[in-house]
């Protein structure tokens, strides 16, 4: 068994399916999320919120889910002729809201890109199953292997927000690859042992934008369930050295992220790692985190991470 398979199995078995199912309704429920028909107006949106950043040859539309579901972000890269969707939300209902918004832009959806394994970034991809879905080979394998597991443990609490079947990426992205679409250049990088074991970041060098997704959060609690503190800190330090971007688009939180968010994340990870080594329960760890970061959003991510850091036997 490869090291990747060992880490993947450790992440899943670290918290049994039973404990996840029992805990999930206490974290978030479908009744809280809402499931009414989508409103006709795009501003304000019924469930999430959208911000648009304009560049000379492109726009990036950034959708953020409600705080209750972790302020998860989906980005729509609008080139002169087409749309590229980056990540798909934890909810197929939110995914449909993004799909409806994208179709209002009157340009074809060229593809969706999935940045990593975690279901809050690919459940909503079900609403884009008719377009090519791109991802790293490692992420494709992880979703293929674990997709049904995540769907099954989510059904009791999330109900209609959960996709009926997994949507596995069908087009592979290579580390270091780049492509230019309608004059907009995309550069891809494979990041390992960070927030997730395998992650994809996307750079738009001409716009000086880095779509970091869950490598970086903005004013939100970081999900540390994999325990990859050292690797994540290394990746953030490498990001800090890169002078090729001015705007960082996070995987959770508002899209107005700046380089200060990198330092904030490094301090957060150092703090959580230090407390984690000293406490014996998830309640103790959560209390310390909330006391240190009372204004941070996405508190539910702390509850979910603690299912993995402190598995029930």
In the structure, what pLDDT confidence band is assigned to residue 261 with cuts at 50, 70 and 90? very high
The CA R_g of the chain, rounded to the nearest whole Å, is 18
Which run of H or of E encompasses 139? helix 137-158
The C-alpha atoms of residue 29 and residue 6 are separated, in whole angstroms, by: 31
Whole-model pTM: value is 0.89
pLDDT > 50? residue 57: yes
The pLDDT of residue 168 is 98
204 near 248, Cβ under 8 Å?
no
Q: What is the pLDDT of residues 65-102, one digit of tens each?
A: 999 889 999 999 999 999 999 999 999 999 999 999 99
Please state which of the ranges 11-20, 61-70, 249-258 shows the lowest mean pLDDT: 11-20
DSSP 131: S
Residue written as token pair 């609690």: 221
The C-alpha atoms of residue 293 and residue 165 are separated, in whole angstroms, by: 37
The C-alpha atoms of residue 250 and residue 199 are separated, in whole angstroms, by: 13
pLDDT > 50? residue 186: yes
Residue written as token pair 């959770």: 252
Q: What is the pLDDT of residues 15-30, one digit of tens each?
A: 555 455 444 434 444 4
Phi, psi of 225 (to 5 degrees): -65, -25
In the structure, what pLDDT confidence band is assigned to residue 313 with cuts at 50, 70 and 90? low
In the structure, what pLDDT confidence band is assigned to residue 200 with cuts at 50, 70 and 90? very high
In the structure, what pLDDT confidence band is assigned to residue 32 with cuts at 50, 70 and 90? very low
Average confidence (pLDDT) over 217-232: 96
Q: Give the burial class of 59: count Cβ atoms within 10 A of its Cβ; 0-12 exposed, 13-18 middle, 19 or more buried.
A: middle
Q: Give the burial class of 288: count Cβ atoms within 10 A of its Cβ; 0-12 exposed, 13-18 middle, 19 or more buried.
A: middle
Which run of H or of E encompasses 275? helix 260-276
Q: What is the pLDDT of residues 100-120, one digit of tens each?
A: 999 999 999 999 999 999 999
The pLDDT of residue 3 is 43
Please state which of the ranges 3-12, 161-170, 176-185, 206-215 shows the lowest mean pLDDT: 3-12
The pLDDT of residue 85 is 98
> Which fold does the domain 3-31+45-309 belong to in CATH?
Metallo-beta-lactamase; Chain A (3.60.15)
Percentage with pLDDT > 90 across the chain: 80
User: Of 249, 304, 260, 300, which is closest to residue 66 (Cα–Cα)?
Assistant: 300
The C-alpha atoms of residue 203 and residue 130 are separated, in whole angstroms, by: 25
Q: How far apart are the first and last CA of the chain?
A: 24
The pLDDT of residue 21 is 45
The C-alpha atoms of residue 313 and residue 305 are separated, in whole angstroms, by: 16
Residue 236: strand pairing partners: none
The pLDDT of residue 12 is 53
The C-alpha atoms of residue 234 and residue 231 are separated, in whole angstroms, by: 5
Domain residue ranges of the chain, discontinuous segments joined by +: 3-31+45-309
The C-alpha atoms of residue 64 and residue 62 are separated, in whole angstroms, by: 7
Residue 198: strand pairing partners: 192
Residue 217: strand pairing partners: 252
Average confidence (pLDDT) over 289-309: 95
């Amino acid at each position: 068994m490869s090291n990747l398979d060992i880490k993947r199995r450790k992440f899943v078995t670290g918290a049994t399916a039973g404990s996840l199912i029992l805990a999930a309704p206490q974290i978030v429920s479908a009744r809280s999320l809402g499931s009414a028909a989508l409103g006709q107006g795009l501003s304000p949106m019924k469930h999430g919120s959208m911000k648009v950043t304009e560049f000379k040859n492109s726009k990036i539309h950034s959708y953020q889910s409600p705080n209750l579901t972790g302020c998860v972000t989906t980005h729509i890269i609008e080139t002169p002729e087409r749309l590229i969707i980056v990540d798909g939300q934890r909810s197929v209902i939110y995914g449909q809201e993004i799909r409806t918004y994208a179709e209002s832009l009157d340009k074809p959806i060229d593809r969706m890109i999935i940045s990593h394994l975690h279901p809050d970034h690919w459940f909503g991809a079900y609403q884009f199953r008719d377009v090519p879905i791109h991802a790293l080979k490692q992420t494709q394998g992880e979703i293929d292997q674990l997709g049904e597991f995540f769907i099954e443990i989510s059904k009791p609490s999330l109900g209609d927000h959960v996709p009926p079947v997994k949507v596995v990426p069908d087009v592979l992205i290579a580390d270091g690859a780049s492509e230019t679409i309608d004059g907009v250049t995309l550069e891809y990088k494979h990041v390992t042992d960070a927030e997730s074991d395998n992650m994809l970041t996307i750079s738009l060098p001409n716009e000086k934008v880095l779509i970091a997704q869950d490598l970086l959060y903005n004013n939100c609690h970081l999900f540390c369930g994999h325990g990859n503190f050292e690797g994540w800190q290394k990746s953030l330090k490498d990001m800090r050295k890169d002078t090729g971007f001015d705007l960082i688009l996070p995987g959770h939180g508002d899209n107005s992220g700046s380089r200060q968010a990198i330092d904030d994340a490094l301090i957060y990870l150092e703090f959580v790692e230090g407390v984690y080594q000293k406490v014996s329960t998830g309640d103790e760890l959560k209390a310390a985190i909330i006391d240190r970061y009372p204004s941070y959003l996405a508190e539910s991510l702390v509850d979910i991470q603690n299912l993995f850091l402190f598995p029930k036997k």
